[in-house]
Amino acid sequence: MLVAAPAAAQELGSVSVAIDGTTVKLSTVTYRPTGDGPFPTLIFHHGSGSFERPYDPKAVAQWFVVRGWTVIAPSRRGRGGSEGVNEEGKSCSEAEAAQGADRALSDIDAVTPALIAQPFVDRSRIAVGGNSRGGVLSIAWSGRHPEVRAVVNFVGGWMNTRTCRYGRAINRNLLNRGITWGQPSLWLYGDKDLFYPLEDTKVNFDAFLAAGGKGVWHDYEPPEAGKLNGHQIYQVPQLWTADMESYLAERGLPSKHGN
């Protein structure tokens, strides 16, 4: 049995990738258990915000690494020290939102092969996930990657449905790209989300199922302590630990502390 050490940001790095005919360096944060591996690996994607330091989803990474996983968090173009320009946009136009999402998916398409080629990664046990835009991108990306073993969507959406009249349709179209994965993805959402009210996202989840997608839905009440809102539930593992463990076990992946 592998007994994993507490997680730390063991490596801040970057990978050079070709995107849209240009070579850029994208920043990465990698967490690993002790040992040489290869380890099951979660690639975890960020949301829409602008940030200068490489994206570091510490709470999620710590949860997975003590269960024997590697977690790699890449920063897309124009954020977190990654080269290039962030042109994903925040347009409420359905056409322009699709273009922005396609740009983000191009980053994921480019960086993923470089990440999983590392010797400590078990390429037969790859999971993808993310928070907010990273969550919806993970669902969409999986639709073209049947080899992925698990997909974890924390509060995924592309456009704020509170302020964009087409937000629900934009989010639904992007989520529905994941229908062709053909396996159950995990959808984790929080009440009092500042961007994606539960009623909007649950309608999209039901539409996803009706169109042939497979998924598992859970929603949570964010804790009052710390004044977190529903969009931040990825930072509170005690909310979703049991549901995440159940999902990973059903996918035949390590799920318990000390796996």
**Which domains does the chain carry?**
11-250 (3.40.50.1820)
Closest to 74 (Cα-Cα) out of 44, 51, 32: 44
Length of the chain: 259
pLDDT band for position 8 (50/70/90)?
low
pLDDT band for position 4 (50/70/90)?
very low
**Side-chain half-sphere of 193: how many Cα atoms within 13 Å?**
29
Query: Residue 82: what residue type?
Result: S
pLDDT at 257: 85
User: Over 90: is that where the pLDDT of 161 sits?
Assistant: yes
Cβ(244)–Cβ(152) below 8 Å: yes
pTM value is: 0.95
**Side-chain half-sphere of 142: how many Cα atoms within 13 Å?**
33
pLDDT at 56: 95
Closest to 240 (Cα-Cα) out of 210, 219, 214: 219
Cβ(66)–Cβ(4) below 8 Å: yes
Question: How does the average pLDDT of the chain come out, rounded?
Answer: 94
In Å, the largest CA–CA distance within the chain is 51
Identify any residues that bridge with 128 across adjacent strands, giving them in sequence order: 43, 151
Torsion of Cα atoms, 49 then 108 then 78 then 135, to 10°: 0
Radius of gyration of the chain (CA): 17
What the block records as the tokens of 100 is 């922005």
pLDDT band for position 258 (50/70/90)?
confident
Residues 6+ apart with CB under 8 A from 7: 31, 58, 61, 62, 65, 66, 71
- Tell me the pLDDT tens digit for each residue of 56-82: 999 999 999 999 999 999 999 999 999
Residue spans of beta strands (DSSP E) within the chain: 11-19, 22-31, 39-45, 70-74, 121-131, 150-154, 185-190, 215-220
